[in-house]
Amino acid sequence: MSTQRSPLVVVANRLPVDQVVAGDGSVTWRTSPGGLVTALEPVMRSNDGAWIGWHGSADETLEPFEDAGLSLVPVPLSSDEVEEYYEGFSNATLWPLYHDVVAPPAFHREWWDAYVRVNRRFAERAAEVADDQATVWVQDYQLQLVPQMLRALRPDLRIGFFLHIPFPPTELFQQLPWRRQILEGLLGADLVGFQRPGAAQNFIRLVRQRVGHRTSRDAVHLPEGRTVTAKAFPISIDFAAIDELARHPDTVARAQQIRADLGNPKTLLLGVDRLDYTKGIRQRLRAFGELVAEGTLDPDETRFVQVATPSRERVGQYQLLRDDIDRLVGRINGDLGRIGQPAVTYLHTSYPRAEMVALFRAADVMVVTPLRDGMNLVAKEYVAARHDNAGVLVLSEFAGAADELRQACLVNPYDINGLKSTLVTAVQTPRAEQAKRMRALRTQVRTNTIGHWADDFMGELRRVEPAG
């Protein structure tokens, strides 16, 4: 198969487009929502870049194609590989392990075999597509073996890797039977990026202890003379796009309508998450329910809206979580709700960006309390939507965003009493204090956008001299 070679190649689990099948069976492609596409699209266009990834349908092989001027190179996956590589090793082994073992990871050798096989397929595709001395940027935990495999195939390349989720401390990572293979896979890159400095240090410490290479503050020195840099590059959002959408008259009107539909409460609290056991949804709902039951929050004046986007519904832990949240919401509303006036409005569905921004504009208190999160962009999106300088952000100290958003009300989500106290503080924050905090938060997010993140990472990677 002949494929045009590119000087810049992005390798990710998914292509940045979703397949849309019309009633007549014709297929078109729609750009996926998400910051990564927004960040990389300009630099890819200016460098004739190619994006390698799975197109989302199992047991189907597609030729490379262009969409909206982007060169897209599909990698096929079989149904078994989707089950074992993606749902299995990526999301039932690595995901819980990297998120503080909030749920127990499963270790299955056949999942690992599939992970190796699929990573090799991605690496081989990247080796075919990359031009001489090209730059290749590999994305996230599903593809941690690709850098080493790709370097073996194409030692002339400049290779970067970015991990979007947390990287665990030594005592957790060492549970992984294939820990050395993962570390050596990442060491194939010239630059390994993380969300938080602590994650980069976890990686360097593990390489020193488990692989035995010499390390310095932010680097690993390999025996063959190559140096691998490991640093934090906190990801962000397209501030201007969300700010503009939040100011649109339709968004302002929709925010007012949302509050009216909820009975115009004095205080509206909002949670927006993928339905995931790492997001702390149970803990925040329990805290809110107790505050209402105790009379600290008045159910006639306070509403909680929880949006939980469906996620990984074929993975057992996620099915159990959905059942648990359904029961918890039912119990809270059964005990504390009124006719036509539930204490918690629970929405297990996906919404378009405009509706989400309207919800951000409507909410007085944004509750972002993951048990562990690489960054959490919802916190930054809420800030970007609040051009009125109103609203309070309650933020878990275990989210990467807590390193930057210091004017939020930071909280330990495992401490239910502390979470309750912080929610009360947020509800009672005077308007002047809200404005002071929100102005500082908006300055932070406005000056550190998704574009800055991409530029910082690519700038660091381009300082590497390619071999050959």
Catalytic amino acids? Answer: 164, 373
Within 187-311, where are the H helices?
197-206, 239-247, 249-261, 281-294
Q: Tell me the two tokens of residue 58.
A: 């199992």
Q: Provide the edge-to-edge strand list for the sheet that holds 65-67.
A: 65-67, 70-74, 50-54, 6-14, 130-139, 158-162, 191-194, 227-232, 219-221, 214-216
Q: Tell me the two tokens of residue 275.
A: 């339905």
Phi, psi (degrees; rounded to nearest 5) at 191: -135, 125
Distance of alpha carbon 270 from alpha carbon 360, whole angstroms = 8
Exposure on the CB side of residue 242, measured as CA atoms within 13 A: 33
Helix (H, G, I), strand (E, B) or coil at 38: helix
> In 158-257, which ranges are E strands?
158-162, 191-194, 214-216, 219-221, 227-232
- Is residue 8 within 8 Å of 1, Cβ to Cβ? no
To which H or E segment does residue 39 belong? Answer: helix 35-46
